[in-house]
Amino acid sequence: MERTERLLDLVALLLDSKRPISWTELREAFKDDYGSGSLEACERKFERDKAELLELGIPLTWVKAGDDTPEGYVVERDAYYLPEVGLTADELAVLYAAGAAALASGAFPGSQDLAHALRKVGFFAGGPPIAPSVRLELGAVAEVKDLPLRLDGLWGAITTRKSVTLDYFSPHTKEVSHRVVDGYGLALRRGLWSLVGYCHLRKGVRTFLVHRVRSLAVNQSRPKSPDYEVPASFKLDEYVATWPWQHRFHPPLDVEVLLTGELAPLARSLFPAAPSADARGARVTVKATDLDGLVKYVLSLGPDAKVVGPAEAVARHRQLATAVLAAHQERPS
C-alpha cells in the first residue's frame, strides 16, 4: 500500500472510531504495513507515520485505559476539524489580499504553508474571496532566479533548527566564502531578505543577504534532531536595519532633522519618530548608528529637509552635499 494511502486510511479509521484503537487492532487493520515483519520494524514504521500526521496538525494521541474504554490511539474530532474562524467578509478579503500578494511575489518563505493556509481560511467562504488588488515586489535586486528556492530552504532549516552550509558572495571583494550557519531567523527590510544566524567561520552572529547566497545545503543528518538552540536573548530586529541610519557602524548619535515646507506634514511617515513642532516646521530626533546613512536619506528628501544638530552631523551633511555639487559643477570625465 502506498504511504499516502495508508496515512489517509489511518486518519479515516481514527476519525470514525468512537473509542481508542489499540496497537494490536492497528496491526490487525494494517496487516501488510504494521502486522508483518519484526515487531520493532513495525513500530518504527508506525512512529514515522504518526510523526508525519502530527506535523500536518492531526491531533493523534495515545490515551490510557479509562473505566469503560481501552487504552489506544485517538484523533479527537473537535481538535481535528478546522472550526469556523468567523472572519467577516472584509477581514477575509484583506487577509487573502496580503497572502495572495505575498505568494504572487514569488519570494516568500514558507510559500507552501501560506498557500495551504489561504485555502483553509477560504474554506467556509466557499472558495477564494474577492480580494483587493495588491501587488508586492520582493527581492529588489536584478538577479532573483534562485531566491524563492533559497528562502524556502532557509525557512525549513530555521524552523527545524538544522545548520546550513552556504556559499556567500561579497560584492565588495567579489569573492565567495564558504560558511556554516545556524539560522536564527529571516527578515525582510526594504524589499531585501536577510538571514541572521551564528556564523561558524566568524564565530558570531552575522547577517547575510539571501540574494547573495550562491549555493545552499541543509544538514541532512538526523533530520528530526535540531543541531542548535537559538539563544533566549536573541532578537531578530536588533540585527537588521529598517532604516538606513540603523546599521551599527558607530555608537548611537542623536541627530536633529528639520522638515519644512511640503515635508513638515509628512514627518510621521518619513521618520519613525514623533516630530515636535518647530516654528519653521517639524523637528525629529533620530538615533543614528550610521550617520552617513541618515545624511544620504535626508539629502534624498530634497532642500526642505536639513540636518540641524549636532555640529558633527551638520558638518557631514554639508560635506556630502558639497561633494554632489562639486561633482556636477565640474565637467565629468
Cell 552556504: give the residue: 166
Integer angstrom CA distances of residue 313 from 52, 107, 258, 267, 307: 57, 37, 13, 19, 7
Q: Is 238 in the site for other proteins (CB under 8 A)?
A: no
Report the residue number, 8 or 41, with the smaller CB distance to other proteins. 8
Q: How far is the CB of 311 from other proteins (least distance, A)?
A: 14
Q: How far is the CB of 69 from other proteins (least distance, A)?
A: 19
In terms of DSSP H, where are the helices of 239-331? 267-270, 291-300, 311-329
Q: Is 2 in the site for other proteins (CB under 8 A)?
A: yes
Backbone angles phi, psi at 75, to 5 degrees: -120, 110
Report the residue number, 155 or 179, with the smaller CB distance to other proteins. 155
First CA to last CA distance, the chain:
74
Q: Is 8 in the site for other proteins (CB under 8 A)?
A: yes
Report the side by side order of strands in the sheet with 253-259. Answer: 276-278, 281-288, 253-259, 305-309
Backbone angles phi, psi at 299, to 5 degrees: -60, -40
Long-range contacts of 2-10 (CB under 8 A, 24+ apart): 3/49, 6/30, 6/33, 6/49, 7/49, 7/52, 7/53, 10/49, 10/53
Report the residue number, 67 or 269, with the smaller CB distance to other proteins. 269
**For 2, how many CA atoms within 13 A lie in the half-sphere containing its CB?**
3
Q: One symbol per residue from 159 to 178: x for binding other proteins (CB under 8 A), - otherwise; what is it?
A: x-----------xx-x----
**CA separation for the pair 200, 180 (Å, rounded):** 6
Q: Is 58 in the site for other proteins (CB under 8 A)?
A: yes
Interior angle at CA 187, CA 142 and CA 255, nearest 5: 95
Q: How far is the CB of 67 from other proteins (least distance, A)?
A: 26
Restricted to residues 280-319, the positions that interact with other proteins (CB under 8 A) are: 280, 292, 295-297, 299-303, 306, 308, 317-318
- All three cell numbers of 78, joined, read 473537535
Report the residue number, 67 or 330, with the smaller CB distance to other proteins. 330
Q: Is 60 in the site for other proteins (CB under 8 A)?
A: no
Restricted to residues 78-97, the positions that interact with other proteins (CB under 8 A) are: 79-83, 85-95, 97
Q: Is 327 in the site for other proteins (CB under 8 A)?
A: yes
Q: Is 63 in the site for other proteins (CB under 8 A)?
A: no
Report the residue number, 253 or 266, with the smaller CB distance to other proteins. 266
Q: Is 73 in the site for other proteins (CB under 8 A)?
A: no
Report the residue number, 67 or 221, with the smaller CB distance to other proteins. 221
**Cβ count within 10 A of residue 223:** 9
Interior angle at CA 119, CA 106 and CA 135, nearest 5: 35
**Binder among 270, 273, 285, 289 for other proteins (CB under 8 A):** 270
- All three cell numbers of 189, joined, read 527590510
Q: How far is the CB of 252 from other proteins (least distance, A)?
A: 21
Restricted to residues 31-50, the positions that interact with other proteins (CB under 8 A) are: none
**Binder among 185, 198, 208, 210 for other proteins (CB under 8 A):** 185
Q: How far is the CB of 254 from other proteins (least distance, A)?
A: 18
**Binder among 15, 63, 180, 273 for other proteins (CB under 8 A):** 15
